[in-house]
Amino acid sequence: MYLRPNGDDHEKYCGFRIIDCKWCEWEGCAVDLLKHVKEQHPDDRIFTAETETVCLPGFDISKNTHWFTPFYVHDQFFWEETFCDVISKLFVKTLHSVPINKPKDTFFWKIVLNSTQTEFVSKIKLNLDPDVDLDDDEKSIYVPWKTVPNYINKKGNFTYNTHITKMCSKSLT
């Protein structure tokens, strides 16, 4: 790997770096991930709006679970990872960016959970560095464990709203 003295991080954000699909064994270039997911997982939805309602059917708070949901918003691919650990009593949502070039804009991610008893809202400024630690507060939202059952409806579905917004950088021209 060659790095320029000024800290050139081309390889970190290069669209031709090798990444993997979170749903299967596929490995390929970052620029090909969206096409791969559309073609190889046609029955699964890729969320494309800035604000989306997501439903996770058959959610059981008493079981360890781990899943990924794809988003393609503002020309940026994201994997939203949800992790439920019963023993540690952790419910964590993490947004992983899959950049195809160095981001020039700032992204924000907001999760909204509603029930008749409570509302949970958390918004963070995203760190789009693909190498940042997974437990970084600029990628993850921790939902208070005791409130999670409030957001599971009678059918066993966990439903929430996710918002991925972009604040454009001002041009210096």
CA distance 156 to 152: 6
CA distance 40 to 25: 11
Cβ atoms within 10 A of the Cβ of 93, count? 21
Q: Please tell me the CATH code under which domain 45-167 is placed.
A: 2.60.210.10
CA distance 44 to 39: 10
Q: How confident is the model over 70-96, as pLDDT tens digits?
A: 999 999 999 999 999 999 999 999 999
Q: Where are the domains of the chain?
A: 45-167
CA distance 144 to 134: 19
The angle at the Cα of 12, spanning 11 to 15, to the nearest 5 degrees, equals 70
Q: Model pTM greater than 0.75?
A: yes
Q: How confident is the model over 39-70, as pLDDT tens digits?
A: 999 999 999 999 999 999 999 999 999 999 99
